[in-house]
Structure 1
């Protein structure tokens, strides 16, 4: 079918659907839902058989849905209506939730139902559920809906009816925390339901802040509502029956008036506010963990949004050094369940006094992590890409000896979408080794996502493993164990060390890095400010004014 994806942004769900539909052989183009006139023009130019809307913040114009069938991917089960579906489900502690694919009609979320799926609702943040269970359910439901359409079966139900009914948009008054009465689980649910956007509005001293990235703080007690301490990047606050960690705060920049989400400790320092006392960090979010499991070293770094700041790079380097000193012979780099790594921490850069200098410091720090992995010749290193990865995060994975990737992961192995960044992480050495010079150039010229299977087929990664994040981690560790137990393992390590020595003699890693950084300095300090504009727009969630041509195929020939 000829399909137009109409979406507010090309977010993780939109990308996953785009990849799934393309793999099924459909002809696709994307239009951002900027205004009614742009939508009508896109319809006239592309002449689609069908419009699919995975992520909207406005209603589709009546003349559009009357002219062409429009399927809405609604993040709620049968009968659910309203724009805060998943927020209400998480805050109310629902045990099951779902996705409904329905046809647009005059009444919001009320049209014929073409497919639906249900799933168990984990105790997790809205973003986590959205990227995992809800995305998988949406891909399956959209696939079923298209099959029904192509067979001429018609919708499952004539209208979106069920027990759920319509729910109002969730406001800050609905999210407000009563620190004297709400127990820890209630507070946790409220913050998790607001994860990503908009956060839960609260106060720290005299400053308004929005709370994000919460986790239980076991064994910590204090007076309800008090900020009890900090550890790493996080703050701990008492509830009436315990305490929880707050990993990130959204704050308002006093000079620009813009909102920006930062690690909680960084946010307070940016505002010039005092920190509570230092405490132990058990259970805090974004914590790096190295453990030995079944004789394999396992390194987890579940950073929010996969962002790798300078301080996180330093901590990751220390963990790699710990792994290098350990008795294990193989190391698995697991990243986090939602994101493996996305490269530079653009929010911390945007909040700095000199974004250009902060950008250079950040890329230098990531390069140090990559160098440490490349030079870890005494261990077999496996990057197990459990969650989505983009930009420098993809190329950091290539610093490993093998790369495994979980089925369903979305990869963006390029830098160009962030203001035509050149990139570093030794990609000019790592990528041609896998794809050849022509393949490397072709990949770096693209701006589109890849799925796991395509990455393996191209030779970018080595193998796809199925399963949820827990099952994937178990399989990746088992793969590493099998490597260690293999009869040729010692020879494999010797060959790795010899190859690294030959490559270093031919052209040192430092030469690749310096050439890459020379180009990056032009991005950071040169006359072309595209990177700084793109970073600002990304961090401040500036609304799109047009759809990029690499997505809008219907506009490419104009």
Structure 2
């Protein structure tokens, strides 16, 4: 079937559908929803059997849905309507939620239902729910819709308007910690919670901290703690209310943060150990890794290698493994070029520590999506395991033809051979776990949820740790590293990569800096890249 994806942006759900539909044998193309004229032109060129809209911010033109079957994915159960479905669900403490695949008609979100799914609504941010439960439910519902002969009309649709800031606003004197966390989680990603001169994001409980409601209490690792009427919350990210401001670590935005005492509490890096296996967690916000985070994670990894264990699992986070260097902190720096250079070198230091670890077998346990340098950081481990449904973007070119580092010129060919390595970095397309397995990028894919995946990773790690040949495997690993080093030193790969990166950061071509500026500020693309708009390639 020829399927045209129509989307506001190539977001995580759209990427997952691209992968799943193509794997199912359908002919897939995508058009970004720029304006009605462009959409009409795309439909005329693509001649689709079906149009699927995973993520739109405006209505499909009548001339399109009147002539073609258009299936819209709505992140709410049957009968729910409106642009802020998850926001209201979280704020109103819904116990369960869902996804509906419905046919586009004149009235928004009110067309015939083709398929739907429901799921328990866990206590999590809007972004996390979207990337996990919503995405899994949407994939299942779309696959069902493709095999349904006709839709069913929904009953009693309920329209929910966009959520205003008045509904998100925090009353620090009256709202308890649980209410404040719900408001922050319902506003995560966008638009955030407006609080005076700032927008607040990334909230976590601050157990053990108390103070006068509304007062800033403490700071740690980029976060600041603020008192509630019954405790406190950690705020991980903030931006000023000024137009065009950047979302950054809260301590970089709040002037009084520097004077606050450092207090224990929520961590963005932690280590636990069980049955002689070390588990290193790093659920960085949006998977971005700043210079400071790379350095702290490298130090934590080296500390883990000093423990009397034989296996270290690099767990990342439930939503992301890693997306590489932190474009927001780079953009906010006095010299983005200099900060780009510091950040990529810190990433390289971390990758080098993993590659050269001879004392332990290392497992990259990818419960969440990964992109760019984050994928290659995973390849630095001895074994790469991924949750089924994870999406990988093992390429850099979409960020202004960035060359990339993280020793990818060593790690990628070692995994899949030179020819396939070139194919991977040139493709610019998302990759599912089935394709990653075929290419040899990963060693296993299993588990539907992050919890299920973690349990299976633990079982695999424990099997490795008690194997009678573990010392032989470690010896073979050290010998292989010595042989590779003799053939070509790691320092040579790094130097060659950084020479190309230096041109990206400091050269005459500003493509990387322009692409980063647009990405951070979510500037909509003016046209669909040809590698996605396959209907425009002929």
Q: Same fold (TM over 0.5)?
A: yes
Structure 1 gap ranges (5+)? none
Could you tell me how far apart the structure 1 residues matched to 2:428 and 2:67 are?
A: 31
Counterpart secondary structure, 1:67? coil
Q: Is the CA contact 1:5–1:54 (under 8 Å) kept in the aligned structure 2?
A: yes
Could you tell me how far apart the structure 2 residues matched to 1:293 and 1:279 are?
A: 29
Q: Does 1:223 align with 2:212?
A: yes
Task: State TM-score, norm by structure 2.
Answer: 0.98
Q: Does 1:541 align with 2:538?
A: no
Q: What's 1:418 paired with?
A: 399
Q: Is the CA contact 1:97–1:119 (under 8 Å) kept in the aligned structure 2?
A: yes
Q: What's 1:166 paired with?
A: 159
Q: What's 1:30 paired with?
A: 30
Counterpart secondary structure, 1:275? helix
How much has 1:37 moved relative to structure 2?
0.3
Q: Is the CA contact 1:340–1:387 (under 8 Å) kept in the aligned structure 2?
A: yes
Equivalent residue for 1:177, pick from 170, 174, 182: 170
Q: Is the CA contact 1:29–1:551 (under 8 Å) kept in the aligned structure 2?
A: yes
Counterpart secondary structure, 1:259? coil
How much has 1:260 moved relative to structure 2?
0.9
User: CA deviation digits over 1:465-516, x for unaligned, max 9?
Assistant: 2231122112112211111222221111000001111111221100100000
Q: Does 1:443 align with 2:424?
A: yes
User: CA deviation digits over 1:29-88, x for unaligned, max 9?
Assistant: 100011000000000000001110010000011111001011000010010011011100
Counterpart secondary structure, 1:419? coil
Could you tell me how far apart the structure 2 residues matched to 1:62 and 1:517 are?
A: 51
Task: State TM-score, norm by structure 1.
Answer: 0.95
User: CA deviation digits over 1:419-475, x for unaligned, max 9?
Assistant: 111110111111111111111111111100000121011111111122311221121
Counterpart secondary structure, 2:247? strand
How much has 1:274 moved relative to structure 2?
4.8
How much has 1:171 moved relative to structure 2?
1.1
Q: What's 2:266 paired with?
A: 283
Q: Is the CA contact 1:110–1:161 (under 8 Å) kept in the aligned structure 2?
A: no
1:75-94 correspondence to structure 2 within 5 Å: 75-94=75-94
Q: Is the CA contact 1:99–1:116 (under 8 Å) kept in the aligned structure 2?
A: yes
How much has 1:276 moved relative to structure 2?
4.7
Q: Which runs of 4+ in 1 moved over 3 A?
A: 272-276
How much has 1:289 moved relative to structure 2?
0.6
Counterpart secondary structure, 2:217? strand
Could you tell me how far apart the structure 2 residues matched to 1:328 and 1:84 are?
A: 47
Q: Does 1:192 align with 2:162?
A: no
Equivalent residue for 1:265, pick from 248, 251, 259: 251
Q: What's 2:466 paired with?
A: 485
Could you tell me how far apart the structure 1 residues matched to 2:55 and 2:210 are?
A: 41
Q: What's 1:154 paired with?
A: 150
Could you tell me how far apart the structure 2 residues matched to 1:552 and 1:507 are?
A: 40
How much has 1:378 moved relative to structure 2?
0.9
How much has 1:251 moved relative to structure 2?
2.5
* Greater alpha carbon shift after TM alignment, 482-491 vs 388-397: 482-491
User: CA deviation digits over 1:336-367, x for unaligned, max 9?
Assistant: 00000000000000000101111011000000
Q: What's 2:415 paired with?
A: 434
Say what the alpha-carbon RMSD is for the aligned residues.
1.1
Q: What's 2:140 paired with?
A: 140
How much has 1:28 moved relative to structure 2?
0.8
Equivalent residue for 1:527, pick from 502, 508, 511: 508
Could you tell me how far apart the structure 1 residues matched to 2:300 and 2:459 are?
A: 21
Q: Does 1:247 align with 2:233?
A: no
Q: Is the CA contact 2:96–2:121 (under 8 Å) kept in the aligned structure 1?
A: yes
Could you tell me how far apart the structure 1 residues matched to 2:452 and 2:259 are?
A: 39
Number of aligned residue pairs: give it: 538
Q: Is the CA contact 1:228–1:276 (under 8 Å) kept in the aligned structure 2?
A: no
User: CA deviation digits over 1:351-397, x for unaligned, max 9?
Assistant: 00101111011000000000000111110001111100000000000
Could you tell me how far apart the structure 2 residues matched to 1:393 and 1:48 are?
A: 35
